[in-house]
Amino acid sequence: MTTRRGVLKLVGGGCVLAAVGAGGFVAANGPSRSAREPWREAGQETEFRRRALSYAILAPNPHNRQPWLVRLEGDDALTLFCDLDRRLPATDPYDRQTVIGHGAFLELLALAAAEDGYGTEITLFPDGEDMATLDARPVAHVRFLAGESDPDPLFAHVLARRSNKDLYEARDVEAEKLAAMMQAGSDFGVSANTIGNTPMAGTLRDLTWRAHQMEMNTPATNQESVDLMRIGAKEVAANPDGIELEGAFIAVGKLIGMVNRETLADQTSAGFQQGLNMFEALAMSARGFAWLTNGNQTRTDQINAGRAYARMNLTATSLGVSIHPWSQSLQEYPEMADLYHEVHDLIGGGQRLQMLVRVGYAKPIMATPRWPMESHLIA
């Protein structure tokens, strides 16, 4: 919560806000409510496939790009495609992370369908796959089977699921909770591992922070993130995807010229340096880590990693544990190569690291913005 004192300090005495008062400014510049409407509307559809989709669009995905297009077919099927305009060519040149996001989507779709008693027969990449880059071919064909599935307890946590990007508290996650998360993520041929606040966690805090620095200090990858920033509630409402920057502090920073795309892309600016300082604090607040590995020989392996991650995320939610993907070191562009090899040598175990997340306890946060379900439907 932004305090009156914090706002006044940020503008150097508060004269900019004198006309409306700090309290009024804070109230007028809160997060966009309309951008979170899909979270409130989930489950209200009467047709079972649309109802399942209303939950699936809430899945975790890289940079909140929501890269899903769906074509409803007949009365019991759908086909899932990647929205190629929502790729991340700089940070995810081979679309690995994007495919993982499709796996999370499919897992939430299956959980929601099961809640209504429908099984899901999922055929991945029915027209073939390409490991170099995604194309216009379908990611999956899904047929719904009435009366062939029982509800999964994890579904109860879909609406509370978050990727908590805030500072984590200085208290450790209990071993039994880490074990439950590891068990949940060890599915679909994926191996999950978790650690608490051990010396290895300290090593990973340092490594993941260096990887985040590399992403921010590499012009192409930093610019990709900057281009996806939605600065202020109006921008978030107009484009409810990408990286949302909202609230009174952001509004004041925008007002005084500290928070805009130019300063956030400029490595010499105060805004850029403050961003680095913030991310360092986030990295160092991790009280443990979790990671997922598999063979990564096919796109199916990446889908399976996404499905397993969704189950780990939901299990963490059920336990009151916060997690946040912190996978910059797993990215596959040239500048990240040394850190990519370093993290794989450290914890990869001879397999491909698919997800690396920080773990801890944090205050509850708002849901991330989402496009309405209708925006993902195609003819």
Higher pLDDT, 357 or 248: 357
User: Do 121 and 215 belong to one domain?
Assistant: no
Q: Give yes or no: residues 22 and 91 share one domain.
A: no
Which residue range(s) make up the domain with 15?
4-28
Do 24 and 48 belong together in one domain? Answer: no
Asked if 194 and 285 sit in the same domain, the reply is: yes
First to last CA, the chain: 43
Each residue's pLDDT tens digit, 81-124: 999 999 999 999 999 999 999 999 999 999 999 999 999 999 99
Residue 98 forms part of a structural domain:
yes
Contacts of 7 (CB under 8 A, 6+ apart): 14, 17, 22, 25, 26, 248, 249, 252
The answer to whether residues 100 and 145 belong to one domain is yes
The answer to whether residue 168 sits within a structural domain is no
Residues 209 and 340 in one domain: yes
Asked whether residue 344 falls in the same domain as residue 292, the answer is yes
pLDDT for residue 153 = 98
What pLDDT is stored for residue 249 in this prediction? 80
Residues 153 and 230 in one domain: no
pLDDT mean over 149-178:
98
Residue 374 located in a structural domain: no
Residue 372 covered by a domain: no
Band of the pLDDT at 181, cuts 50, 70, 90? very high
pLDDT of residue 154: 98
Single out the residue in 158, 189, 215 at which a domain terminates: 158
Report the CATH number at residue 51: 3.40.109.10
Residues 6+ apart with CB under 8 A from 127: 137, 138
What confidence tens digit (pLDDT) does each residue in 33-50 have?
999 999 999 999 999 999
133 occurs within a structural domain: yes
- Could you tell me if residue 209 is inside a domain? yes
Residue 256: predicted pLDDT: 86
Is 215 a member of any domain? yes
183 and 105 housed in the same domain: no
Residues 232 and 323 in one domain: yes
Is 365 within a domain? no
The structural domain count of the chain equals 3
Q: What is the pTM of this model?
A: 0.93
Least confident of 16-25, 29-38, 47-56, 269-278: 16-25
Same domain, 129 and 53: yes
Tell me: do 144 and 97 sit in the same domain: yes
Q: Of 158, 193, 221, at which residue does a domain stop?
A: 158
